[in-house]
Structure 1
């Protein structure tokens, strides 16, 4: 490995912690600004968020029991939406933190990392909103007959909705995480292939924990997660082939 490739690998623990602090501060600034922007549209966003459960509510709306509940709900909505719309910016901060652990020729993938990370996060959140949540509410709201009527509070619903969308968004980053670990040499294509059965078992457990307590929701999360894991394995294989080809080329020179 050349000096150019190890210049950033020799950072001390304090330098790494300092860099982490800097990136976290930048992420905090980004989220505050994005939250402020989204707050101006919180009413329209709330109508969009309410849509999956609205058909099952007797009066078409959620309830609240405290004078501040609705105001706090709009703050939470603005914050979650701020996380989503600022995804490319805080992903860039994540990349700046992990880039020193990569080879110099791999640090050029900044745009690809940000684009793919944003696309995967939004895909996960959209999959939760349009596929998983309607299916989950159909099961949960019709369970045990239709005599009892739901009275769902704003706070309860937002907590459930936010957890589902963010967890699916983060979970869909799996191939990107695997690819970065492969670039850093922490995992290999052979390791990921040999440990596939354990990975699938772990994904099944995670799916059961994250999703509502019905089998269909768990399966609807497990299937794409397994596919995303295989995508990550495929990308690591490509990275290793490129790295091996570059090593052979350097040896010839």
Structure 2
């Protein structure tokens, strides 16, 4: 009578061991990337500060209000860059853990969704660095009073930029989120198209909340999100299941 319970306990233990193994591999990957990046800590922060420093008046530079800030801020940045660079490896470990329990159709859809999510997050961060930050700093520095000298703290600047990167990286995941909602059956592509007007209002509200209080960054987030919403509708139409019968037939077939 205890055989099924023993089998269930063994299966759970196997999953926990596999989960621990995948977590350890993910952590080791991040540590390896971090160690490889540590010699370039100073260059990384210099690169990150370039959109602001290149626009400061001659003779002005960044400061560290905390004596230890000059050390910890670049180290913190290097850690985030290591996680950012190791994201594909971390996602692979997550995929390797959950893939055995997925159906064939789920596997076929999960791989492009994971790849698209990573690419879109990277694209959002690149968009923020190369376009948003320069335009935001140009706007802020242009309208500051002449008697105000800009001497930004390196920790405050790092937190500001990381928030911008996170906001744009996550916002660029909008097409993937829409596709997942359609695959789950919560919405249809026709409904997404019908709700376009409400979505635009919501996008501008989100942009106003998660970006700095200036019009430039809000527009630079809202406009790409509207385009990404349209891309999400197009992608959702391509992957939407034709009929419930077809979808259930595919789900019963495992690799």
Contact in 2 for aligned 1:102/1:184 (Cα 8 Å): no
In structure 1, distance between residues paired with 2:79 and 2:39: 12
- How much does 1:79 deviate? 1.7
Of 139-148 and 29-38, the range deviating more from structure 2: 29-38
Of 192-201 and 238-247, the range deviating more from structure 2: 238-247
Compute the TM-score of the two structures, normalised by the length of structure 1: 0.78
- How much does 1:106 deviate? 2.9
- How much does 1:31 deviate? 3.6
What SS does structure 1 have at the residue aligned with 2:121?
Answer: helix
Can you give the 5+ residue segments of structure 2 that lack an aligned partner in the other structure?
Answer: 1-14, 251-255
Q: Which residue of 2 aligns with 1:47?
A: 46
CA shift digits 1:68-125 (9 cap, x unpaired): 1111112211122112211212333555677689752231245423432222111101
In structure 1, distance between residues paired with 2:185 and 2:101: 9
> Does the C-alpha gap of structure 1 residues 170 and 91 become closer, same or farther in structure 2, counting only changes over 3 Å?
farther
> Does the C-alpha gap of structure 1 residues 213 and 119 become closer, same or farther in structure 2, counting only changes over 3 Å?
same
Residues 1:137 and 2:120 are matched in the alignment: no
- How much does 1:149 deviate? 0.8
CA shift digits 1:134-172 (9 cap, x unpaired): 111111122233221111010111011111112211211
- How much does 1:191 deviate? 2.8
Of 156-165 and 206-215, the range deviating more from structure 2: 206-215
Q: Which residue of 1 aligns with 2:210?
A: 210
Compute the TM-score of the two structures, normalised by the length of structure 2: 0.78
Contact in 1 for aligned 2:139/2:216 (Cα 8 Å): no
What SS does structure 1 have at the residue aligned with 2:149?
Answer: coil
The equivalences for 1:73-112 within 5 A come to: 73-93=73-93, 95=95, 103-112=103-112
CA shift digits 1:174-215 (9 cap, x unpaired): 111222232232332133223222222221111112222221
Q: Let me know the Cα RMSD of the aligned residues.
A: 3.3
Contact in 1 for aligned 2:60/2:151 (Cα 8 Å): no
Q: Which residue of 2 aligns with 1:34?
A: 33
In structure 2, distance between residues paired with 1:157 and 1:94: 32
In structure 2, distance between residues paired with 1:52 and 1:204: 25
What SS does structure 1 have at the residue aligned with 2:51?
Answer: coil
In structure 2, distance between residues paired with 1:18 and 1:174: 34
Can you give the 5+ residue segments of structure 1 that lack an aligned partner in the other structure?
Answer: 1-15
What SS does structure 1 have at the residue aligned with 2:146?
Answer: coil
> Does the C-alpha gap of structure 1 residues 17 and 135 become closer, same or farther in structure 2, counting only changes over 3 Å?
farther
In structure 2, distance between residues paired with 1:205 and 1:122: 23
Contact in 2 for aligned 1:20/1:97 (Cα 8 Å): yes
Residues 1:223 and 2:223 are matched in the alignment: yes
> Does the C-alpha gap of structure 1 residues 182 and 31 become closer, same or farther in structure 2, counting only changes over 3 Å?
farther
What SS does structure 2 have at the residue aligned with 1:66?
Answer: coil
In structure 2, distance between residues paired with 1:197 and 1:93: 39
Residues 1:173 and 2:168 are matched in the alignment: no
